[in-house]
Amino acid sequence: MSNFLPNSLVKKLGVNPLFDTEGFIRVHEEGKRATAIRLNPQKLRECPFPISGMVPWCESAFYLEERPLFTLDPLFHAGGYYPQDASSMFIDHIIRKLEIKAKPVYALDLCAAPGGKSTLLNSSLHPESLLVANEIIKTRVNILQDNLTKWGNVNTVVTNNDPSAFDRLPGYFDLMVVDAPCSGSGMFRKDTDAIDEWSEANVKLCSERQQRILAESISALKTGGYLLYSTCSYSEEENEDIADWLIGTGDFESIEIEIDDNWGIEHTRSVEYTAHGYRFYPHKLGGEGFFITVLRKIAEQSTFNRKRIKPEKSDVPKGILDPWISDVDEFFPFIHHDDLYIFPKKYENDLKYLQNVLYLKNAGVNIGKLNRKELIPSHALALSNVLNPDVQSLEFTLEEAQNYLRKENLTLEVGSPIIKGWALAKYKGMSLGWMKILPNRINNYYPKELRIMNL
């Protein structure tokens, strides 16, 4: 038996005669972990690091030969990729197998911070889908917003609400992803402190909390909609038992997802209703501990009344967006606290619905501040995928890009006598942020709170 893993957990896992207890213990004692990244397909086409292989269940995802210092890479700050545990990327495979990408959907990532699954959904769903990324903890919602800003999509709303708030949107979503708070046994290799905090009592507490989260929010899923429920726990009480509990309510049926036997994913069946589950063990594949099940809502669900809301008269100066935004007619602009935003025009009413019942941290893309009739562009605009490609820019070397990200003073040598005014700082063709080129100096507008310190 392991000297540091909880004996009660190892014994429970070992009840399964096919479970490799020795391999499970050994991989935790060795501590060697795989590093994987997932590319942003709208920004980066090729992996910028040496790879050891592809993540087989996720498109545009790679295992790296070694873990780089991501904070020193300008492409990371530009939103070119997201470092994420490969096990969690299985959601991409599920979406493809369910053919959800075939048409636009309303999607909710209920427990979204720090944003790995939300950025994955941004890439995996139909590009005209609407994604609501929610985080209940205020101290974590900012990192969620930052990561989605880097990803650059305009069709996303970030909210900061208790899951129960979504009960006010019955039948609203086609897809719900609930990566539920759990006892964390699947993260023992990543966070050794989790070993000391783990207990059977905490497993029971987490299972009860997971049921509460689902019970208070599941009405937001429409009839025929899909629930992707996941945890980073090995305990049945938080995984297969939750699937049984949901099916036992009469509201859901289990959906099987085809997998390749060579991937090392364990296909499980729950005790009561033989619900399909998928377990990821670090001694069997390149990823941390993870569980996910897919359920389809079969109960009749009353639907949210999408009554048409009379559009308000816009106070945005006509034509101000034209130099900054591509396909400007696809978006509607609005002003909030002196900031100018854009949001997909097809979801204008939906934004009003969401504003009426939720606390919104961000919606669409913050374009910038209006100073009289001049626009002071925002950092979010620089990283946005709808930025006009004709906006002037300067290409930086690695050293110049790192100095920019440190918010250091920029020398005139990086400038050009032709370019004046607002310009993008770019590295390998990807936008890092704004600078303003004046006759005798260059002002660095990289956000102070985002600057990198460890160079």
Please report how many Cα atoms fall inside a 13 Å half-sphere around the Cα of residue 236, on the Cβ side: 17
Which residue ranges make up the annotated binding site for S-adenosyl-L-methionine?
111-117, 135, 162, 179
> What pLDDT score does 426 carry?
97
> How far is residue 258 from each of residues 31, 108, 276, 294, measured CA to CA in Å?
30, 24, 11, 12
> How far is residue 219 from each of residues 120, 212, 228, measured CA to CA in Å?
24, 13, 15
> How is 262-325 classified by DSSP, letter by letter?
GG-PEEEE-TTT--EEEEE-TTTSSS--EEEEEEEE-S-------PPPPPPPP-SPTTTTTTTB
Largest CA distance in the chain: 75
Which of left, alpha, beta for 67 (phi over 0: left; psi -120 to 50: alpha)? beta
**What digits encode the pLDDT tens for the residues 105-151?**
999 999 999 999 999 999 999 999 999 999 999 999 999 999 999 99
Please identify which of the residues 47, 58, 182, 232 carries the catalytic annotation. 232
Asked if CATH classification 3.30.70.600 holds for the domain at 392-455, the reply, yes or no, is no
Residue 110 CB neighbours (<10 A): 26
Ranges under pLDDT 70 in the chain: 1-3, 412-417, 454-455
> What pLDDT score does 265 carry?
98
Round to whole Å and give the CA distance between 126 and 93.
14
CB distance 200 to 170 below 8 Å: no
How far out from the chain centre does Cα 100 lie? 17
Q: Is 47 a catalytic residue?
A: no
Give residue limits of the domains in the chain.
392-455
